[in-house]
Chain A
Amino acid sequence: MQKEVLINFDRCLGCRSCQLACAVAHSTAGNLFGAILNGEKPRTRIFVHQVGGQKAPLNCRHCEDAPCIDACIAGAMHRQEDGTVTNVGGEQQCTACWMCVMVCPYGVIRSDAAGTMALKCDRECRDEAGVPACVRACPTGALVYAGVDEYSGRRRVDVLARALQQVSGNF
């Protein structure tokens, strides 16, 4: 079974440890102090949002029929053997046309600081045990790297559904 970063929404405290870990793991220096000393401004690819009283992280879902792959005019966005959807390390280079940004329903693809390429979860942050940085950093177990089964999938999102319902009243 392919592994995904699963989100247990009821466990998220909104500490943003995942955001920091993600940004640092993707920096050239690879650690926070090094990145800051280099003058880097590391950018996260996972985003903690607030819905009413509920905090919730969201990152790339590596969709099956990924709209970002269809939209990419450069042929840079592609799917790797392990299911990871990424615009780096493939045949072509990202050209910063933002077509992927336009079609990603989760808003988890963004531009780099210089506006020269799109950044997204590429799982290039995995440690020697194969665990992504955001998951490793999460202190509450809100993020888990595991194979998906449908039943637990349903339970994970119930909290989020309730929180959204309270806020918007239209779910």
Chain B
Amino acid sequence: MRFVIAGNSAAGVAAVETLRRLGGRQNHITVVTDEPGETYSRCMLPDLLAGKKTEYSIRLRPPDFYRKLGVELLGGVAAVALQPGEKKLLLQDGRELAYDRLLVATGARPVLPEVPGAEARGVFTLRTLTDARLIASLAPRVSRAVIAGGGLVGLKTAYALKTAGLDGVTVVVTSPRLLIRQLDEEAAALVERELRSAGINFIYNARIKAFVTGSGGDLAGVELEDGRELPAGLAVVAKGVRPNDTLVGEAGGETGKGIVVDRYLRTTLENVYAAGDCIQVTDRVTAQKVSSALWTLAFEQGRYAAANMLGLARPYPAPLTRLNSARFGTVDVISVGRLEGPEVMARYDPLRFTYRRLVFDGERLAGFILAGKVDGAGVYTALVKSGRPAWTYRRQLLEGRAGSVALSNFLTFH
């Protein structure tokens, strides 16, 4: 059988490994990607900016990974069209790839604001290694940067640029506080305090009106809607991502908040599967249809899709789509499931410098936040995921003594 995989990040790599592990060596596998080099960890691009990692150390797999697995890699060439009837994938350079089963793992792209000057030299998004290289080459030549967006990517980027030695780093946030989709006020305040003490500035309730260019066409500053002007030689826009679903959409496949797939990760096109940031999934807790857009989910979907492509019929269980872990200085934060619900309890534990928030819906733990120290977080995640009655454990969970819950997870999953 001929397998073609479009995309070479988490979902693509997981699929390749699974196709070989479960399907042996006899199948022909081709991976095609518009990115030039080897597969790398997208989540670690901020570490590259900060100078904490090198391109070598953010590689996801060894250089001989594809050769060892006997997989053909076509790098630096985009897949531009899909002909599901002929079972062909058309590439940018005119080549046609015939497949028996295709996996679309094309990921997502950053949203750019529709404001004047967004095309200026010095305005970036941080999604690819190429983006990171461009930012890293400009950063030493500027003293001030503006980050648009108070989400995880925005804050990680701000922290990285500050670590890299930029004098002034200002984060412009549309919301009244940072990480509004991940954290409550208390946890966000802990993160903000840490970032402020690192020397990062925040402007809330503000939107960017224009990117202002100087004489040579380089970025000179950012103008806010309230009239303020922030001088900056570098700006990074981190306002979320959109799924790359056009390949399937234009071929007549169904799309919504991403490519629509069934529980076997099949698109509505015959013999075409999809996995990773490009697909729509149904959240396990809220039952809402959302973009997948998480590294962890991309990896597991890659595995499931590959098994299904081999005909093993492994239904993919509805995932938790709010599943975030990040660290800022000494503050670690993990946020899973719902932020709000019928019953909320929260407590700051001064002995362990840790804030814990639990959201219950009836007997069930529907979500939680840990900020400070996060050891044992997975025990909470498993409760949210399984939906088992957890109300009895509320005191232990709130106090961070989750031992008996860990043991009951053992009985449930082992």
Q: Which residues of A contact B (CB under 8 A)?
A: 47, 49-51, 56, 58, 61, 63, 65, 67, 69-71, 73-75, 91-93, 95-111, 115, 153, 157, 160-161, 164, 167-171
CB neighbours of A49 from chain B (8 A): 403-404, 406-407
Which residues between 249 and 289 of chain B lie within 8 Å of chain A, taking CB atoms? none
Supposing A101-B334, A164-B407 touch, asked if A70 and B413 sit within 8 A by C-beta, the answer is no
Judged by a CB distance under 8 angstroms, whether B204 is at the interface is no
Give Cα A58 to B413, complex, Å.
Answer: 13
Complex partner residue of A106 from B14, B41, B327, B406, CB under 8 angstroms = B406
Give Cα A83 to B60, complex, Å.
Answer: 20
B378 and A170: CB pair below 8 A? Answer: no
Residue of B nearest to A63 (CB): B413
CB neighbours of B379 from chain A (8 A): 104-107
Judged by a CB distance under 8 angstroms, whether B332 is at the interface is yes
B404 and A51: CB pair below 8 A? Answer: yes
Query: 1/0 contact trace for B282-312 toward A, CB 8 Å?
Result: 0000000000000110011001000000000
- In addition to A106-B406, A160-B411, A164-B408, 9 A-B residue pairs with Cβ atoms within 8 Å of each other are A61-B410, A61-B414, A98-B334, A101-B374, A101-B377, A102-B381, A106-B409, A161-B411, A169-B392
Judged by a CB distance under 8 angstroms, whether B326 is at the interface is yes
Judged by a CB distance under 8 angstroms, whether B59 is at the interface is yes
Q: Which of the listed residues A74, A96, A98 has the most CB atoms from chain B within 10 Å of its own CB? A: A98
A99 and B410: CB pair below 8 A? Answer: no
Judged by a CB distance under 8 angstroms, whether B26 is at the interface is no
CB neighbours of A98 from chain B (8 A): 325, 327, 332, 334, 374, 377
B44 and A95: CB pair below 8 A? Answer: yes
Residue of A nearest to B330 (CB): A115
Supposing A105-B381, A105-B413 touch, asked if A110 and B375 sit within 8 A by C-beta, the answer is yes
CB neighbours of B51 from chain A (8 A): none
Complex partner residue of B303 from A65, A75, A161, A164, CB under 8 angstroms = A65
